[in-house]
Structure 1
Amino acid sequence: MGWIVESDDWGAGASILARDTLARIVAALESSPVIVEHRFYRGSSAPERLVFDDLQDFQEYLGRTWNRGDAFLVWRYDELCRDDNALARGKLPDVRGRVPGRGAY
């Protein structure tokens, strides 16, 4: 699907489907979910951001959603999303404004 605009300098380059790229993603998924940012080639839309913890789900997403030229950036969840670097932290209060001081999470 999609189109190829030759003035965008199409040629050899990094492929999300390359064996070594997929091997790195597989290795990461063995111990951590991955965060994926899908940037749509000439799509005139904001990137889509998803979290995968299963290789099959990731491969199914690639198979049904991508267009030639779309870009994918992948990060390990456990390296980026930690308690010590959270942007914000809080709990949803009850109707009286209280939050639990402890509990199972």
Structure 2
Amino acid sequence: MRTRYFSEDDGWSLDGPSITAVEHLDLIKDVLEKRGSIIVEHWYYRGASSPSRRIFDSIDEFTDYLENDCFAGDLLDIWCMHELCNRENVLLSAKCPDENGRVPSRGSY
């Protein structure tokens, strides 16, 4: 991966968990193929900022993100979306109103 920042003080080594390790990419690919989308929380190494969040539906989309949007040292926390997001734990379910403030009581979704 491309390097944006590097500090020896952070203890870089070959022993840590690498997102590009074959077993990690295989796990992500397996989840995407068998269980559905993944949620990725992207923490920026020495970024002094909040993380960004993305949802991916395919391994190609995810690996493209790794190649183009991630840098050495960034941390990615990943969840299977369909295990977390289900009807039992919806925070809110509301409809978008029309210009008069009306929402439909029925409809196909």
- TM-score exceeds 0.5: yes
Compare 73-82 and 88-97 and name the one that shifted more. 88-97
Aligned CA-pair RMSD: 1.2
Which runs of no fewer than 5 residues in structure 2 stay unpaired? Answer: none
Provide the residue aligned with 2:66 in structure 1. Answer: 62
Matched, 1:93 2:103: no
Tell me by how many angstroms 1:94 deviates. Answer: 2.5
Residue-pair matches, total: 105
Cα distance in 2, alignment partners of residues 75 and 17 from structure 1: 16
Moved over 4 A (4+): none
Provide the residue aligned with 1:41 in structure 2. Answer: 45
SS at match of 2:53: strand
Q: TM-score, normalised by structure 2?
A: 0.89
Kindly provide the amino acid, as one letter, of the partner of residue 66 in structure 1.
C
Cα distance in 2, alignment partners of residues 44 and 60 from structure 1: 24
Identity %: 42
Kindly provide the CA deviation profile for residues 68-95 of structure 1, in whole angstroms up to 9, marking residues without a partner as x: 1000111111001111101112111234
Kindly provide the amino acid, as one letter, of the partner of residue 92 in structure 2.
A
Q: TM-score, normalised by structure 1?
A: 0.92
Which runs of no fewer than 5 residues in structure 1 stay unpaired? Answer: none
